[in-house]
Amino acid sequence: MKKTPFITKEQAEEIAQNFPTPFHIYDEKGIRENARLVKKAFAWNKGFKEYFAVKATPNPFILKILQEEGCGVDCSSLTELELSDACGFSGSDIMFSSNVTPAADYELAYKLGAYINIDDITHIDYLEKLTGIPETICCRFNAGGNFTISTFVMDKPQDAKYGFTREQMFEGFRLLMQKGAKHFGIHAFLASNTVTNDYYPTLAKQMFQLAADLKKETGADIKFINLSGGVGVAYRPEQTPNDIIAIGEGVRRVFEEILVPAELGDVAIFTEMGRFMLAPYGALVTRVLHKKHIYKEYVGCDACAANLMRPAMYGAYHHITVLGKEDEPCTYKCDVTGGLCENNDKFAIDRMLPPVDIGDLIYIHDTGAHGFSMGYNYNGKLRSAELLLCEDGSVKMIRRAETPADYFATFDFCNILDKYLKP
Residues that bind ligand PLP (CB under 6 A): 53, 55-56, 74, 97, 189, 192-193, 228-231, 272-276, 369
Local structure of 347: helix, strand or coil: strand
Interacting residues of 416 by C-beta distance below 8 A, sequence separation 6+ = none
Tell me how crowded residue 413 is: count the other CB atoms within 10 A of its CB: 5
DSSP per-residue string spanning 211-269: HHHHHHHH--EEEEEE--S-B----STTSPPP-HHHHHHHHHHHIIIIITTTT-TTPEE
Name the minimum Å distance from CB 391 to ligand PLP.
24
Eight-class DSSP state of 292: E
409: Cα separation from own chain's centroid? 28
Tell me how far, at minimum, the Cβ of 39 lies from ligand PLP, in Å. Answer: 16
Q: How far apart are CA 383 and CA 318, in angstroms?
A: 19
Please, which residue, 5 or 274, has the CB nearer to ligand PLP? 274
Kindly state the smallest distance separating residue 66's Cβ from ligand PLP, in Å.
13
When CB distances to ligand PLP are compared, the closest residue is 229
Q: Residue 214 or 278: which CB sits closer to ligand PLP?
A: 278
- The residue among 283 and 301 lying less far from ligand PLP, judged by its C-beta, is 283
Taking the complex as a whole, how short is the minimal distance between the CB of residue 198 and ligand PLP, in angstroms?
16
Q: Give the other-Cβ count within 10 Å of 14's Cβ.
A: 12
> Contact 96/117 with Cβ under 8 angstroms?
yes
Nearer residue to ligand PLP within complex by CB, 19 or 51: 51
3-state secondary structure of 198: coil
Using the minimum distance from each CB to ligand PLP, give the nearer residue, 229 or 375. 229
Q: How far apart are CA 267 and CA 251, in angstroms?
A: 13
In the complex, minimum distance from the CB of residue 117 to ligand PLP, in angstroms, rounded to a whole number: 7
Nearer to ligand PLP, 187 or 215 (CB): 187
| Distance in Å, CB of 276 to ligand PLP, minimum | 6
Q: Is residue 106 within 8 Å of 116, Cβ to Cβ?
A: yes
CB 116 within 8 A of CB 110: yes
Indicate the residue among 229 and 338 with the shorter CB distance to ligand PLP.
229
Least distance to ligand PLP from the beta carbon of 396, Å? 24
What's the closest the beta carbon of residue 287 comes to ligand PLP, in angstroms? 28
**Distance between CA 31 and CA 181 in Å, rounded?**
37
Task: Specify the residue, 61 or 96, whose C-beta has the smaller distance to ligand PLP.
Answer: 96
Distances from the Cα of 183 to the Cα of 167, 172, 186, 206, angstroms: 19, 13, 11, 20
> CB of 227: closest distance to ligand PLP in angstroms?
10
* Nearest to ligand PLP of 53, 258 (CB atom): 53
- Nearest approach in angstroms of CB 357 to ligand PLP is 35
Can you tell me the distance from the alpha carbon of 194 to that of 71, in angstroms, rounded to the nearest whole number? Answer: 22
Extended strands (E) in 9-91: 23-27, 49-53, 72-75
Could you say which DSSP state residue 361 is in? E
Give CA 332 to chain center in angstroms.
33
Q: Measured from the CB atom, is 187 or 381 closer to ligand PLP?
A: 187
DSSP type of residue 55: G
